[in-house]
Amino acid sequence: MVQDARRLARRDGDLDLEGESLYRLAALAHYDGDPGDAFALAAEADEFADANGLPLVRAWCLHLIGLIHTDSGNHSEALAQCLRALSLYRSTDHRVDEGNILNTIATIHHELGDADRAIVNYEAALAANEAYDRRDIDALIVANVSSLRSERGEHDEAVELASAALASCRADAPSFLPEVLTASAQVFARRGGDGDVDVARELLADALDELESASVTFDDLDRSRIELAYGRLEIEEGRLDEAIAHLRRALDFATLVGARVQMLEAHTDLARAYTAARRFEEAVPHLEARFDVQSRIHAESIATRLRTLQVAHEAEQARRQAEILHLRLAVAQHPSSARTSS
């Protein structure tokens, strides 16, 4: 359908719709777990938007490119792209997506271990959403803040925030519910008080049930993330057989959609669980597979960086050629201005 929309837009000369259609194709490729195609389409959409004066589409594309870099582990480049996206987005009269971009920037700082900058940007994201009733994004942001507080050892505050995020998500953002349930389960598990582990298991079970019963379509990547969280919980509780069962399912789901980051995590945790169970022969293949997946992720990360440099180089070359052409036209129109006195 998006391809059809793009063809119709091109036929009708609708540049805005054609640019947005290109961006949507890139977003679909990213959702389907194909970073190479997603990056190529996003770069093409960005170039199209730049050439045709579509700053909003450019901002969306740069944000998506930032997400692709985040998934590849290129956090510095991801941050640079998202900051460019934010600056460009603020130059438009569109405002409803600012909180979402700020949430991504906060998440990158979070993954880099910079808790202070993460908190500042999470708070800025919530403030940006206040006037636009983005309670769906708010639920996700509060869940992210809860995870961050939990990682810093602020367990009671983290649990309070997780509960608020869950209540908001159930009411306003059902599409984020599996993700928020999983994050909340991890918060309860980290606190580890009386009954917290049981609550964590219940939340993870609810997340899996949500995937089965929801009218919204979820992919197997969500299932892989939930099973990973379940497996890690059971490792910490010493229930190694249960942990291995969950982690094997996590690996199967991740392999099905080619989600390398989740495959790496599943192999790592399976090796840890088998080693703890003293099943060393079964741990070795996962250690070997972990190395193989790590190598593929590294190669993909380098390829994405090189494509970014190539796109930047080609854009700079195009700008220089445009400047040269402009000067030549100016000289042709005003030849006397090019003469100098002897």
Does pLDDT of 339 surpass 60? Answer: no
Does pLDDT of 271 surpass 90? Answer: yes
CB–CB of 139/168 below 8 Å? yes
In a domain, 41, yes or no: yes
Query: Among residues 271, 258, 260, 257, which one has the least CA distance to residue 73?
Result: 260
Question: Tokens 């990213």 appear where?
Answer: 30
Half-sphere exposure of 50 (CA within 13 A, CB side): 15
In this structure, the answer to whether residues 76 and 145 fall within a common structural domain is no
More confident residue, 117 or 315: 117
Euclidean distance between CA atoms 327 and 332, whole angstroms: 9
**Could you say which of 283, 305, 334 is where a domain stops?**
283
In this structure, the answer to whether residues 199 and 240 fall within a common structural domain is no
In this structure, the answer to whether residues 63 and 3 fall within a common structural domain is yes
Euclidean distance between CA atoms 17 and 233, whole angstroms: 46
Segment 81-132, tens digit of pLDDT: 999 999 999 999 998 999 999 999 999 999 999 999 999 999 999 999 988 8
Residues whose CB falls within 8 Å of the CB of residue 282, separated by 6 or more in sequence, listed in order: 274
Helix (H) or strand (E) segment spanning residue 38: helix 35-51
Domain interval for residue 121: 116-207
Average pLDDT of 313-319?
65
Segment 69-78, tens digit of pLDDT: 888 778 888 9
Segment 200-211, tens digit of pLDDT: 999 999 999 988
**Could you say which of 146, 176, 207 is where a domain stops?**
207
pLDDT given at position 278: 96
Segment 142-187, tens digit of pLDDT: 999 999 999 999 999 999 999 999 999 999 888 889 999 999 999 9
Does pLDDT of 338 surpass 70? Answer: no
In this structure, the answer to whether residues 87 and 1 fall within a common structural domain is yes
In this structure, the answer to whether residues 145 and 181 fall within a common structural domain is yes
pLDDT given at position 226: 95
Q: How confident is the model at residue 342 (pLDDT cuts 50, 70, 90)?
A: very low
pLDDT given at position 341: 44
In a domain, 61, yes or no: yes
Collapsing DSSP to helix, strand or coil, 192 comes out as coil
Euclidean distance between CA atoms 219 and 223, whole angstroms: 7
Q: What is the CA 163 to chain-centroid distance, rounded?
A: 23
In this structure, the answer to whether residues 83 and 2 fall within a common structural domain is yes
Euclidean distance between CA atoms 179 and 149, whole angstroms: 17
Half-sphere exposure of 189 (CA within 13 A, CB side): 21
Euclidean distance between CA atoms 319 and 88, whole angstroms: 19
In this structure, the answer to whether residues 265 and 241 fall within a common structural domain is yes
In this structure, the answer to whether residues 132 and 202 fall within a common structural domain is yes
In this structure, the answer to whether residues 157 and 190 fall within a common structural domain is yes
In this structure, the answer to whether residues 15 and 62 fall within a common structural domain is yes
In this structure, the answer to whether residues 257 and 231 fall within a common structural domain is yes
Q: How confident is the model at residue 312 (pLDDT cuts 50, 70, 90)?
A: low
Q: In this structure, what CATH number is given to the domain that contains residue 179? A: 1.25.40.10
Proportion of the chain above pLDDT 70, given as a percent: 86
Collapsing DSSP to helix, strand or coil, 315 comes out as helix
Its pTM stands at 0.77
**Could you say which of 162, 184, 207 is where a domain stops?**
207
Question: Tokens 């094997």 appear where?
Answer: 248
Query: Among residues 183, 101, 168, 103, which one has the least CA distance to residue 136?
Result: 168
In this structure, the answer to whether residues 120 and 184 fall within a common structural domain is yes
pLDDT given at position 39: 86
Segment 249-259, tens digit of pLDDT: 999 999 988 88
Does pLDDT of 218 surpass 70? Answer: no
Euclidean distance between CA atoms 92 and 229, whole angstroms: 40
Q: In the chain, how many domains are there?
A: 3
Euclidean distance between CA atoms 211 and 336, whole angstroms: 73
